[in-house]
A and B are shown apart, each in its own frame.
Chain A
Amino acid sequence: MPVTNEGFEPLIVAFCCNWCSYAGADLAGVSRMSYSSNVRIIRVPCSSRVNPSFIIRAFQRGADGVLVAGCHPGDCHYHSGNFFTRRRLTVLKQMMEYLGIEPERFQVRWISGSEGAKFAMVMNSVAEEIKRLGPNRKLRDVR
């Protein structure tokens, strides 16, 4: 039975690394680009700081979508952080999809500090996708 998503405003938690994606988010702001206000950003020094436990916790506490954004591989401020992020979150993403979580709910993107437009575009498209999927019920804590 299709659940109607009229009036559903998703909550999307985005973990952004200070040097690239968080800076890209700031640039989107400086350029006055518009994107969905459903996105809330948590700042981390590097995408390699993002523990899968944080991601699952976000879903448990009510996030409908989670995004991890880091520097493009090779451009990490700490040299190798995002290479580990890439392996770790590839494994996590495969696992979540295998368990039957919709692939759009958890996404990983590379966004540099000069890609303000890309940041806004990604946030908007993620918000769109999550809105269509509806609220996250599968991983949400019983309240």
Chain B
Amino acid sequence: MKRRNFFERVLLGAAALFAPRWARAQQMDQSMRELASVVLPGSLGRARIEQIAGDFLVWIRDYRAGAEIASGYGHPRTQVTGANPSEHYAGQLSALGSPVSREAVERAIAAAKVDRIPQRPNGRHVATDLLAFFFNSSEGEDFLYDAKIRRDDCRGLGDSAKRPEKFL
């Protein structure tokens, strides 16, 4: 076999192996952006909404099932994180169709019997998990209070006596 043929075959093999995964990731990315444009506040602006959708996908990717949970007082035993909440997201996103409509999201939330935005994404439904991800984030808090509190940043002591600037 000529060297060139050999490398072509290797590349084609690798593409066959990774293409479905890549295609699935692309599909998830697209669907998440569509969902975000329906469920997140439009006043954030399109660029921010897309960014949040992307951040949520990164959060899902980096989630570790079975990791020790932070335990303060009142938790004398070790607890661990549950399964990745995104396990059923692909199916849920697919069921919403494309383009994602508000009606489809409302029907899905009702079918999943979710009544409140959870404290953290819990896998009940991707739409409410995305809301949980945003509204419980530092950026979500800043957006609600319209102030750049930046709770996740190390901000120094110098400005702590001043009211934070407006967020929007």
Check if A and B associate: no
Point out residues on A near B: beta carbons under 8 Å.
none
Point out residues on B near A: beta carbons under 8 Å.
none
